[in-house]
Amino acid sequence: MGLLEAILISVIAASTPLLLAAAGELVVERSGVLNLGVEGMMIMGAACGFAGCWLTGSTFLGALCGIAAGAALSLVFAMLTLGLAVNQVAAGLALTILGTGLSGLIGAGFVGQRIVPAPHLDIPFITTLPVVGKLFFGQDGFVYFSILLVIAIWWFLYRTRAGLILRATGDNHTSAHALGYPVLKIRLLAVLFGGGCAGLAGAYLPLAYTPFFIPGMTAGRGWIALALVVFSSWRPGRLVGGAYLFGAVTILQLHAQALGLGIPSQLMTSLPYLATVVVLVLISRSRGIAGSAAPASLGMVFVPDR
């Protein structure tokens, strides 16, 4: 296996959690809700996903536990922001603080334990093809699922009536309400979906990326996923490119550190975060000319009149 191939494979592994979490958040934001608690839901997904896998010995059941944990946490967020019309930014921050604490509590007993990492696809003859074999046919299930998920989201948003209604809700909740669409119910479902995706993204880390759990192992990936949604201009297609770009930055800094170029490791580690700031600035700047691509009702409180 050549170095380039190894790098590409690790880029995909590093990108997958970003893609999963950002894909879920994209649907949430398209419905008009800004859930800043992605980081909290991810780390809960990581803790519960690991716990589930360790207890059952099954990656699949572990992933389900992660999804359930993320969705459960997002339900709390939905109850506050949709049910009680609480400020979404503040509630999202609360969710991250709560998720960090709860995951530490749940994961404490599992630190230092190991599990069998998620199996990789292995098709006789095809997976062993040079260069492309392992890259396209030798990944774990999460990777393929994340791609399918983005395609499904694209199809849902742009090719189904329900997707059109969801986008309408995000662009103008007053009109959507006047047309008779249950704005809060639509948003509840979107938030739960986003929570499940964030939970799965978190679960990917201990189940496939590293076969153990460390408190705080999401290391800001939830926040980077939020930035990716802005980067993608709320379009699923661009999300894939963005996620792989960020995955590449993460991996390249690791390889650069390994080469020992005399650059302080802290500078290299800070690259994904700095890249996020730079990308946000560049995207927002070009957007300033073309007009904002954000859903028009994003982050606004909606209380239906009677």
Partner 1 sequence: MQLVLEKRAERSTLIAVASPLIAIVLTLVTMSILFAILGKNPIAALNVYFVEPLTDTYTLGEIIVKATPLVMIGIGLSLCYLANVWNIGAEGQFLIGAVCGSWLAVVTNGTGAGYWVLPAMLVLGAAGGALYALIPALCKVRFGANEILTSLMLVYVAELILDYLVRGPWRDPKGMNFPTTAAFDPVATVPTLFDGSRVHAGSIIALLVVIAATVMLGRTIKGFEIRVVGAAPRAARFAGFSADRLVLFTFAVSGALAGLAGIIEVAGPVGVLQPGISPGYGFTAIIVAFLGRLNPIGILIAGLFLALTFIGGEGAQISMKIPLDLTKVFQGILLFYVLACDSMILYRIRLIATPKKSAPASVQGNVHGTA
Q: Does 128 bind partner 1 (CB under 8 A)?
A: no
Applying CB under 8 A, among 99, 170, 199, 247 the residue interacting with partner 1 is 99
Q: Does 182 bind partner 1 (CB under 8 A)?
A: yes
Q: Dihedral of the CA atoms 205, 209, 210, 211 (nearest 10)?
A: 90
- With contact defined as beta carbons under 8 Å apart, do 186 and 166 qualify? yes
CB-count burial class (<10 Å; 0-12, 13-18, 19+) for 273: middle
User: How many CA atoms does the CB half-sphere of 59 hold within 13 Å?
Assistant: 18
Q: Does 276 bind partner 1 (CB under 8 A)?
A: yes
Q: Does 82 bind partner 1 (CB under 8 A)?
A: yes
Applying CB under 8 A, among 1, 55, 105, 296 the residue interacting with partner 1 is 105
DSSP 75: H
Q: What whole-number distance in Å separates Cα of residue 147 and Cα of residue 134?
A: 16
Question: Both ends of the chain: CA-CA distance in Å?
Answer: 65
Cα→Cα distances 290→159, 232, 298, Å: 25, 14, 18
**Binding region for partner 1 (CB under 8 A) out of 53-61, 155-163, 233-241, 267-275:** 267-275
Applying CB under 8 A, among 97, 123, 152, 293 the residue interacting with partner 1 is 97
Q: Does 188 bind partner 1 (CB under 8 A)?
A: yes
Q: Does 111 bind partner 1 (CB under 8 A)?
A: no
Q: Which residues bind partner 1 (CB under 8 A)?
A: 36, 40, 76, 78-80, 82-87, 89-91, 93-95, 97-102, 104-105, 108, 177-185, 188, 215, 219-220, 223-224, 226-227, 230, 264, 266-267, 269-270, 273-274, 276-277, 280-285, 287-288, 303-304, 306
